[in-house]
Structure 1
Amino acid sequence: MGAINMDLVMFMAHLPGPGETVVTDNFSTFPGGKGGNQAVTAAVLGGETRYFGKLAQDSFSDQLIEAMSGRGVETDSILREPESTAGIAIIRVDASGQNSISFTPGANAHLTPQEVGENTPYFTPGAILVITCEIDAETVYAAVRQAREQGMFVIMDPAPVPAQPFPADIPACVDVIKPNETEAFHITGIAVKDFETAEQAIRKMLGMGFACPVVTLGDRGAVAYVDGQIKRIDPIKVNVVDSTAAGDVFSGALAASLARGQQLDAALDFATAAAALSTTVQGAQTSIPSLEQVEDLLRQRAAQGA
């Protein structure tokens, strides 16, 4: 759950500053949205995946559903809002692969807590709920609570972080919370700049009641609380072209790996490899690597370590 968008992307030498116009000679459209990216990633990497959310009746919505179903995601659970539009994200990417994103949710924002309750059969005991915070916060919380009641494993990608603090009962309903540096700051008030400050943020989130915080640090790797210890996950160095969907690929790959029976520490390594590969290709869903590519990279890394 989360948002499905059409990404409108331009690549340029540098990101524009306030009042600045940067001219570029390219423009592309890609299926995106954090929820959509994560769902497609989970499906491509071996998970049986269903998307629950809301789109409109416009052509972008049709294209987005076709793109997701074509990659193996069950889409018959997507609700349609007649008087709305698909979500749209405008993405600028600079020469180093860094990006700047503006976003309008469209029909994604119209999914309600009541509709979550009306679709309980999609919340399958023993399955995994992967959810982002792109949609209405109360809808997110209703889904997380329902998933916990149904005996699901919950992975929350708190992007963007809700304006108000999490309700007191929500941390205990979440098995893994996966913020990046900026999101970890908004959750904890700790400015995350390196491994040490990421560890401080993890301890703060543990104190809030989250069972397993994972803080991703971009090209510096990640820090996670695993089996009672804080673990640093080293990055995998690649030639970065576009980092747009790396965090989403990490979340989707983590879910797929856990669904295939891997333990959390191995699943985190798998997610790190998948996210690294995604930065070597332009686009969001178009950058998702295959299962074979991820496994090959992990074997190469193991051989180099040996």
Structure 2
Amino acid sequence: MHATRSNKTPIVVFGSVNIDLGARLHHFPVPGETLHARDAGLGLGGKGANQAVAAARLGADVRLVGRTGDDPLADYAAAALRRNGVAPDDLYRSAGDLTGLAMICTDSAGENTIVVVGGANMHVDRADIARMAALLAPGTIVLMQCEIPTDTLHAAALAVERAGARLILDPAPVPAEGLDAALFPLAELMTPNETETERLTGLRPHDPDSARRAAERLHRLGLRRAIVKLGARGVLYSDESGHGFVPPFAVAAVDSTAAGDCFNGGLAVALAAGMDLARATRFAAACGALATTRRGASDAAPTRPEIERLLASR
């Protein structure tokens, strides 16, 4: 049975779906060593799924287009998405593929190692783009990330432009060969963090001034609007009308895993509601900040009342 669709214009997310398998260890194993984990957990992850859940938790109607394998992990992903208000109807179950999997080990000092198996995410192709394009209308907000093949990402961005929709591209992770130069003018907005900004511009931002200079370099590459995330040091936003800075929110952070994805989900919701870039960035920054106060990926996404309380406190 398909979920009932609302009459609201949906936010469309085109991207990855993973299952995160996490284990906490006293220390990382050396080659040949077998360790018992202190504890472990299974959760929904992948930047596409995380951003879709983040937007849905804030009340948006969300359509997530991507792929899983045809395996038990796909069933787990579908159930987790439904629990979080995202119908899995637009996910293609790819026979013969494994659902994307991230294996995360964290030691007693809080350091982690992550092994990602792209699985079905690495076979997202033009058939999936066609399914996404059927959902688009002029002005539709589309969220994309870089956990799918780069040629598919470029073709999907072109489809968004042809539809007159609005692309928010999270350049994470930046491909080893760099980001396709054609994507900068196709995206309305990009939201790199410090590391991604350095990969894209050659400048690693560490304060508002260096973030502004990095944003100017992004504009010279053809990007109309830029948001440079500085983690616990705040967020800079920039477009043709100028730039501004959102100072960090004071929260008790325990895990930053979901911060970037919740930021992007909140940003899409804010822009879809008609907020200008300054207000939308502040709203998104509150989403990202609250996501650091709990552990996990999609499970860390905050609700709208939580966001409103944080915004009202400052």
- Specify if TM > 0.5: yes
Are 1:257 and 2:275 an aligned pair? no
Deviation string 1:240-298 (CA, Å, 9 cap, x unpaired) is 11111110000001101111222221111111111111111111111111110110111
Query: 5 Å matches for 1:277-292?
Result: 277-292=290-305
Q: Give the CA deviation at 1:53.
A: 0.4
The residue number in structure 2 matching 1:304 is: none
The residue number in structure 2 matching 1:194 is: 207
Q: Secondary structure at the match of 1:185?
A: helix
Amino acid at match of 1:147: V
Are 1:74 and 2:103 an aligned pair? no
Match of 1:211 among 192, 207, 224: 224
CA distance in 2, matches of 1:266, 1:17: 46
Q: Secondary structure at the match of 1:76?
A: helix
CA distance in 2, matches of 1:13, 1:71: 32
User: Tell me, which stretches of 5 or more residues in structure 2 are unaligned?
Assistant: 1-13
CA contact (8 A) 1:93 1:242 kept: no
CA distance in 2, matches of 1:23, 1:228: 55
Deviation string 1:145-174 (CA, Å, 9 cap, x unpaired) is 101110111100001112334444321111
Q: Give the CA deviation at 1:184.
A: 0.7
Amino acid at match of 1:218: G
Are 1:155 and 2:155 an aligned pair? no
Query: 5 Å matches for 1:217-228?
Result: 217-226=230-239, 228=241
CA contact (8 A) 1:32 1:285 kept: yes
The residue number in structure 1 matching 2:9 is: none
TM-score (norm 1): 0.91
Match of 1:2 among 15, 21, 27: 15
CA distance in 1, matches of 2:94, 2:22: 25
Amino acid at match of 1:7: D
Q: Give the CA deviation at 1:92.
A: 3.5
Q: Give the CA deviation at 1:11.
A: 3.8
Q: Secondary structure at the match of 1:73?
A: coil
- Paired residues, what number? 300
User: Tell me, which stretches of 5 or more residues in structure 1 are unaligned?
Assistant: 302-306
TM-score (norm 2): 0.88
Q: Secondary structure at the match of 2:225?
A: coil
Q: 1:200 to 1:98 in 2, by over 3 A?
A: farther
CA contact (8 A) 2:224 2:240 kept: no
Q: Secondary structure at the match of 1:53?
A: strand
